[in-house]
A and B are shown apart, each in its own frame.
Chain A
Amino acid sequence: MAAKIASGAMKSLGSIRRDFAPWLDQAAVPFIRFEAVTKRFGGFEAVDDLSLSIYEGEFFALLGASGCGKSTLLRMLAGFEAPTSGRIVLDGEDMADIPPYRRPVNMMFQSYALFPHMSVEKNIAFGLKQEGMAKGDISERVEQVLKLVKLEDFAKRRPDQLSGGQRQRVALARSLAKRPKVLLLDEPLGALDKKLREETQFELADLQYQLHTTFIMVTHDQEEAMTLADRIAVMDKGRILQVATPAEIYEAPNSRFVADFVGNVNIFEGKVAAATGDRVTIATSAGRKIHVASEVPVVAGQAVSYVLRPEKLRISAEPLSGPNVLEGEVWDIAYFGPVTSFHIRLDDGSTVKVAMVNATRQGPLQLTWHDRAFVQFDEDAGLVLTQ
């Protein structure tokens, strides 16, 4: 069991696992293609000219705030909504004229949508019956998936006799029973409490690893997306802003929106004061000069933002050496256990978030509210963004 969990955990650390990355392979054929898909509801554009390729065996996450079009995208793939324009191709087949009940995809609904008048067993057998599977094979398959979600003892129960976590497993079992080519998950862990959600995350990752089925998940929870997915598409206003591995999304966001949406971030707005090679000096709008390294070419006078994750800064009560030393007053402290988060009100009036990893048991730093504090970051700690 420990080994299993470890494999699941390994797999979800996008930056570490590199044995599965078909999106980097030029020769790989996408399993699912959205081609210039647009969906309008009345005057509202839910999905706007969106193109996306997903590969076989991928665990793909659509991440965004509510109303960003992620659920509509999933529902179009399931066949509940038809695109206003554009094409959806699954395993080489255009899905346009195929009704939901003939698509080789299954969905796990956010509300679970378990049939309340049927037992767990019958709920799971429902899809298999539609295929005209023989009775003996059905009960065998039902037993198999119940075992997969560890609910063997609950086959005869009705949905209202189960806890929330158990219902979630039944919904998962039911959507897996037909062995779909693609499993669609609409906020699969949204209704569970935090503790259960964390446990279930690993089980879900583990399950996907065992089955090698393509999973597409919709979520508004960035942590969930980062834990589970091979790749994440960050969506806003019907468009995809970035598709990348969790680590790339976090460490190399391509826009301010993505940087801000995923995780905590400090954003320094300003103009390029001087640029020589990859060395850039930015004059921030708060009237400070910061010296950073840029991966993108910029010219003097260009408006840029510098995004910096809180854990990439150092904090101290003593003056610090190195580039980019900022000084201010401790405004807020939040102790989370593994990290302590500081809000430092700088002397220019702006606020900087700093996360200090509590690597030792007794933090040597004894900063408290209203103390003077020094904050420092290296030139390559953050990222220069022009969008």
Chain B
Amino acid sequence: MGEAAAPETIDRRRAGTAETRRGRSFGSRGFFRIVVIGLPFLWLVGLFLVPFLIVFKISLSQTAVAMPPYLPTFGDPATWWSALQQLSLDNYAWIASDELYFNAYTLSLAIAAASTVLTLAIAYPLAYGMAKAPPAWRTTLVMLVILPFWTSFLIRVYAWIAILKPEGLFNQLLMTIGVIDQPLVILNTPIAIFIGIVYSYLPFMTLPIYASLERMDHSLTEAAADLGSPPLKTFWTITFPLSLPGVVAGCFLVFIPAAGEFVIPDLLGGSRTLMIGKTVWLEFFTNRDWPVASAVAVVLVALLVVPIAIFQRQQARL
């Protein structure tokens, strides 16, 4: 952008300046945008998509007594073509043919669904109470909901064993009061799994519902009352529909990890309840069949992601 003498140079210089200016501003803003969008994108690609593709590739391989325990491997680029030809869907056919997997999937989804409903039934009133509490208390109440996270998840699940076992605190309490004579068998049953899941995932349901209820305009329920709607009816026609985004978020946050949950069913559910997380564990570590374990995991992801994708597309259309 030097000094210009001739008119034509001035013109050219002007055009140049405009271009440079546009280019520069686009450049700096573009760089910023790339960083803002690119970092999470890289994170997802590096920590979700790439591992998933590796697992998917293993699920198409065959077991082998080797290190790693499957074939083919993509080592020497010269053998890639023949290696590719060795990949097959055999493991998926195997999963489909054995009833054990089907039962484990349906049981996992059923337990996840039931515990999601139970968690919702407990979390909603909790969140509602928090949102209606005096503003000065709310931060403390949110802290109390988060407080259990300060202790290790594993220790908290172990603590439930001490509470639920036949000679545990819960049975002792009931027998002392005189409600029962014989201890109840809760540990190592599906009931213990429900208790464990509901307890562990309650904050994940409570917080999104609380967030949606807390920011709701209080005058909406007043307006409903003003127009003649009694409190309970107002809840179902105004409050609940407007808190649905929180409810949906909470349900996803509980249902998805609960479906693949391994620790809780393993520690509290005993050996008879075979959920899909446990199945993957058995295939990996007991059978050392990484390809089948991977296939089981891929099918689980498909079972969870596809319905969510359909649901979200419908939400977007509304």
Contact = CB atoms under 8 A, between A and B. Distances in A.
A315 to B, nearest CB: 48
Interface stretch (B101-109, B216-224, B268-276, B283-291): B216-224
Main secondary structure of the interface of B (DSSP, over half): helix
A113 to B, nearest CB: 4
Nearest to A174: B227
B241 to A, nearest CB: 5
A195 interface: no
Contacts of B30: none
B80 to A, nearest CB: 54
Given A115-B238, A116-B242, A101 B219 contact: no
B224 A126 contact: yes
B228 A109 contact: no
Contact of B227 (A80, A99, A117, A130): A130
Given A126-B229, A130-B228, A131-B228, A117 B223 contact: no
A238 B260 CA distance: 61
B227 A109 contact: no
Contact of A101 (B217, B228, B242): B228
A290 interface: no
Interface string B197-223: 000000000000000000001011011
Contacts of A80: 222, 225
Interface string A94-109: 0000011110011101
Interface residues of A, number: 25
Contacts of A114: 223
Contacts of B241: 117
Nearest to A186: B219
Nearest to A106: B226
Interface string B173-184: 000000000000
A111 interface: yes
A127 interface: yes
Interface in A99-156: 99-102, 105-107, 109-111, 113-117, 126-127, 130-131
A126 B236 CA distance: 13
Contacts of B229: 101, 126, 130
Contacts of A116: 242
Contacts of B237: 126
Contacts of B242: 116-117
A99 B222 contact: no
Interface in A170-187: 174-175, 178
Contacts of B46: none
A175 B233 CA distance: 19
A130 B233 CA distance: 9
Contacts of A78: 222, 226
B220 A113 contact: yes
A113 B217 contact: yes
B214 to A, nearest CB: 16
B230 interface: yes
Contacts of A175: 226
Interface of A: 78-80, 99-102, 105-107, 109-111, 113-117, 126-127, 130-131, 174-175, 178
Given A101-B226, A113-B222, 7 more contacts: A80-B222, A100-B222, A100-B226, A101-B229, A101-B231, A131-B228, A178-B227
Interface of B: 217, 219-220, 222-231, 233, 237-238, 241-242
27 contacts: A78-B226, A79-B225, A80-B225, A99-B225, A99-B230, A100-B222, A101-B227, A101-B228, A101-B229, A101-B231, A106-B226, A107-B222, A107-B226, A109-B219, A109-B222, A111-B219, A113-B219, A113-B220, A113-B222, A115-B223, A115-B224, A117-B241, A126-B224, A126-B229, A130-B228, A130-B233, A178-B228
* Top 5 A-B pairs, shortest CB-CB distance: A127-B227, A130-B228, A113-B223, A113-B219, A100-B225
